[in-house]
Amino acid sequence: MDYVYIALLVVLVLLMFVTVFVTFVTGTILTSAPWVPTSKVISRKMCEFGGLKKGDRVLDLGCGDASILIVAAQEFGATCVGVELNPMVALMARTRVRLAGVQDNVKIVRENMFTVDLPDVDVVMMYLLPKATHKIEKRLQDRYKHLTVISHGFELASEEVGKEMVKGSTVRKYKW
Ligand SMILES: C[S@@+](CC[C@H](N)C(=O)[O-])C[C@H]1O[C@@H](n2cnc3c(N)ncnc32)[C@H](O)[C@@H]1O
């Protein structure tokens, strides 16, 4: 009987690895950036750097598993929207949001960030590859008169108003 449980456990673990691998590969092929989550420490720094306060509206373009948004809602009281193209990753984000109990404050939209209707927000978070970063920056400039953008990793073309190193990653701030 014990062998049956062990076999089931092994199959389950294998399935988890296959799911993560397939999600990463399809994400890399089909989208403009693969799914790589931002850690809690960096997410927190991005929220602090963005000056988030209760009631602020936050948008994560390519929200992955909603790591940043969960911190923004739980610890800073923000109201959040995450846009995610990869259906498996979007499902994971919705599940994590529910498990974190912030479903009333975090909405996940399964859409392409280059075509989705961008909601009214105060702060945009992103962790994208350079090409996608520059492409979306143009959209953001056309759409928002006043905005704070916090980018994990890559630079925007706009003038940076500050940057910080956190655990080997650069967090950059832009404001217009
Ligand atoms: C590096 S991950 C960052 C995830 C999350 N923002 C974080 O920092 O934890 C980039 C995410 O963007 C998503 N993505 C890439 N291109 C996209 C697009 N055109 N529209 C929406 N999401 C996209 C990917 O599926 C991936 O989950």
Q: Is 68 in the pocket of ligand 1 (CB under 6 A)?
A: yes
Q: What is the pLDDT of residue 33?
A: 78
pTM (global) more than 0.85: yes
What are the extents of the domains in the chain?
40-175
Candidate from 39, 43, 49, 113 with most ligand 1 atoms within 8 A of CB, to mutate: 113
Phi, psi dihedrals of residue 10, rounded to the nearest 5°: -60, -45
Q: Is 127 in the pocket of ligand 1 (CB under 6 A)?
A: yes
Q: What is the pLDDT of residue 25?
A: 64
- Checking if the pLDDT of 4 tops 90, the result is no
21 or 171: which carries more pLDDT confidence?
171
Mean pLDDT, the chain, whole residue set: 93
Residues of the chain with pLDDT > 90, as a percent, come to 78
Question: 40-175: which CATH architecture?
Answer: 3-Layer(aba) Sandwich (3.40)
